[in-house]
């Protein structure tokens, strides 16, 4: 069945033109989000106040365990969903028109970019946009200045090294890094290495 609104069409990955007769709907939501972002990023807010502002931004109540350090930036806000015990460090940019989901216990480092929006390659259409969702699964950790591209899922317990650019899905229980991000090792391998290092340090005492 054909989507009936521009917001549904956008979330379904259709190409959206700035000349679309419904584009004003998107423009109005962008303006509303920018006003709330200005409020979030101006002055000091207690954790409870920040959660209340984030709830207004997304339109969905966030858990009392959610913690975010401003400044924070988004182009839309209404398509962000966060679970319990989620932490977002300062300076992050969420371009969420395609949908961003952070599951429970996700850690987002400073200056992380989650980008769900892109442009067609065709120069004649390049001012149009298309979107694909980003999902960060339980217990995943994104290091400082990581960028995640449209349509990517980061698996449970995964770690993305600082300054990485993630263009493909990341498997559960793995560590990736680089630009584009590539497999480095499994979480089990990393934990075993940490245990060996700790044992060696203890032996020197």
Q: What is the pLDDT of residues 171-184, one digit of tens each?
A: 999 999 999 999 99
Q: The domain 6-203 is classified under which CATH number: 1.10.357.10, 2.160.10.10, 3.40.50.720, 3.30.70.120?
A: 2.160.10.10
* Residue 197, pLDDT score: 86
* Residue 3, pLDDT score: 56
Which residues, including other chains, have CB under 8 Å from residue 3's CB and lie 6 or more apart?
9, 12, 14
Token representation of residue 93: 């940019």
Is residue 198 very low, low, confident or very high in pLDDT (cuts 50, 70, 90)?
A: confident
Length of the chain: 205
Of 76, 86, 60, whose CA–CA distance to 139 is shortest? 86
Candidate list 28, 35, 90, 119, residue with the active-site label = 119
Of 130, 126, 98, 128, whose CA–CA distance to 17 is shortest? 128
Residue 132 and residue 15 in contact, taking contact as beta carbons nearer than 8 Å: no
Residue 1: strand, helix, or coil: coil
Check if 119 is active-site.
yes
Q: What is the pLDDT of residues 33-83, one digit of tens each?
A: 999 999 999 999 999 999 999 999 999 999 999 999 999 999 999 999 999
* Residue 4, pLDDT score: 84
* Domain spans, the chain: 6-203
* Residue 20, pLDDT score: 96
On the question of pLDDT at 31 being above 80, the answer is yes
Give the C-alpha separation, 157 to 179, whole Å. 20
CA of residue 52 relative to chain centroid, distance: 19
Longest dimension (CA), the chain: 72
On the question of pLDDT at 2 being above 80, the answer is no
Question: Interhelix angle for 23-40 vs 47-58, to 10°?
Answer: 180
Report if pTM > 0.85. yes
Give the C-alpha separation, 87 to 198, whole Å. 28
Q: What is the pLDDT of residues 92-133, one digit of tens each?
A: 999 999 999 999 999 999 999 999 999 999 999 999 999 999
């Amino acid at each position: 069945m054909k989507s009936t609104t521009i917001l549904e069409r956008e979330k379904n990955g259709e190409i959206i033109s700035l000349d679309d007769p419904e584009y004003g709907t998107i423009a109005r939501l962008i303006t509303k989000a920018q006003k709330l972002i200005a409020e979030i990023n101006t002055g000091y807010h207690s954790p409870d106040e920040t959660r209340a502002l984030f709830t207004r931004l997304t339109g969905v109540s966030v858990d009392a365990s959610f913690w975010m350090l401003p400044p924070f930036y988004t182009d839309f806000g209404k398509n962000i969903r966060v679970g319990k015990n989620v932490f977002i460090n300062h300076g992050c940019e969420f371009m969420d028109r395609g949908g961003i989901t952070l599951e429970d216990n996700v850690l987002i480092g400073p200056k992380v970019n989650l980008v769900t929006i892109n442009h067609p390659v065709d120069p004649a259409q390049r001012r149009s946009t298309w979107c694909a969702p980003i999902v960060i699964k339980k217990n995943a950790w994104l290091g400082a200045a990581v960028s995640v591209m449209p349509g990517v899922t980061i698996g449970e317990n995964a770690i993305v090294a600082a300054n990485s650019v993630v263009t493909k899905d990341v498997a559960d229980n793995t560590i990736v890094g680089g630009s584009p991000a590539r497999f480095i090792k499994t979480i089990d391998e990393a934990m075993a290495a940490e245990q060996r290092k700790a044992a060696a340090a203890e032996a020197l005492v």
